[in-house]
Amino acid sequence: MILVATLFILSLSATPQTFGYSTAITSYRTLVWEIDAVPTEPFLMYWSDGGNWLAENDTHFTFGIQSLDDDIVGTLNLGNVSVLANDTEIAKDLTLGVWGTHTEWWPGLIVEVTSPAVLELNETAYAAAERVAGNYLNGSMTSRFDNVTIGETVHQCIVFDYEQDPPGNQVTHLAYSLTTGILIEANTTFTFGTPYELAFTFMDFVEPVDLTVDVGGFITFAGIAGGALVAIVIVVYVKTGRSK
């Protein structure tokens, strides 16, 4: 009951649109994150078909939104890879979630911000880590509402922390803005096979370039310019005529 009430209060600051995404999430808008830690070896982006990716610390990666639907599709630019994929495929490739045997949880880079959507996000997280027979990703999952400060900006977030039970060793921390739905802070690691670590923080939006033409303004400008040109021609003609 407390969780529901808190979600209702926090959701007042979030303006949802189609499919429950914040109005901050629009087509052709690009999101930018700063990379804090990356694997030292290439990792295959199998689900998005992006190939082997490799990036460097203290660089940026971007996600340019192309379309909004039940899942968000966009272009991910990460290190040496640029690939068009949906958010779930990216979440699987970057281990931004929990691959529960009975319930998978892949929130990815952007989540919906309505109260029902956040409640479902929370319930699915716990279900993915549930200690039940056959779930090889069982472990401890905690969630909380917290303020996450990045630079001088304070984000109201829902924060998830997951730690897989031995012999597994995945540890994942994800913090999502309750206003925009953007993944504000992430740190996910595992050492099954080649050690993997990916940590990053949200930086900013890059607005789409407005290529629309102000037809009225263009016609007005063209009219003024044309009139000025005619005036110049007339003046030149008159002066030339008089000089004769």
What's the confidence (pLDDT) of residue 210? 54
Same domain, 148 and 28: yes
Distances (CA, A) of 146 to 10, 140, 176: 11, 19, 10
pTM beyond 0.75: yes
Q: Give per-residue pLDDT as tens, 200-215.
A: 999 998 876 654 544 4
Angle at alpha carbon of residue 19, lines to 14 and 21, rounded to 5°: 30
Same domain, 87 and 185: yes
Same domain, 167 and 240: no
Whether 104 contacts 95, CB under 8 Å: no
Same domain, 6 and 92: yes
Question: Across residues 87-96, what is the average pLDDT?
Answer: 97
Same domain, 59 and 109: yes
Give the 3-state secondary structure of the chain.
CHHHHHHHHHHCCCCECHHHCECCCCCCCEEEEEEEECCCCCEEECCCCCEEECCCCCCEEEEEEEEECCCEEEEEEECCEEEEEEHHHHHHHHCCCEECCCCEECCCCECCCCHHHHHHHHHHHHHHCCCCCCCCCCEEEEEEEEEEEECCEEEEEEEEEEEECCCCCCEEEEEEECCCCEEEEEEEEECCCCCEEEEEEEEEEECCCCCCCCHHHHHHHHHHHHHHHHHHHHHHHHHHHHHC
144 — phi, psi (to 5°)?
-160, 160
Distance CA 179, CA 111 (A): 10
Q: Give per-residue pLDDT as tens, 4-63.
A: 444 434 444 444 456 799 999 999 999 999 999 999 999 999 999 999 999 999 999 999
- The residue range of the domain holding 118 is 2-206
Other beta carbons within 10 angstroms of residue 60's beta carbon come to 14
Q: In the chain, how many domains are there? A: 2
Distance CA 106, CA 47 (A): 13
Question: Across residues 64-68, what is the average pLDDT?
Answer: 94
Closest CA to 175 of 139, 152, 200: 200
Q: 167: cis peptide before it, omega within 30°?
A: yes
Same domain, 172 and 237: no
Same domain, 78 and 146: yes
What's the confidence (pLDDT) of residue 216? 52
Same domain, 221 and 199: no
Same domain, 220 and 198: no
Same domain, 106 and 226: no
Same domain, 156 and 91: yes
Whether 227 contacts 208, CB under 8 Å: no
Same domain, 234 and 128: no
Q: Mean pLDDT in the chain?
A: 84
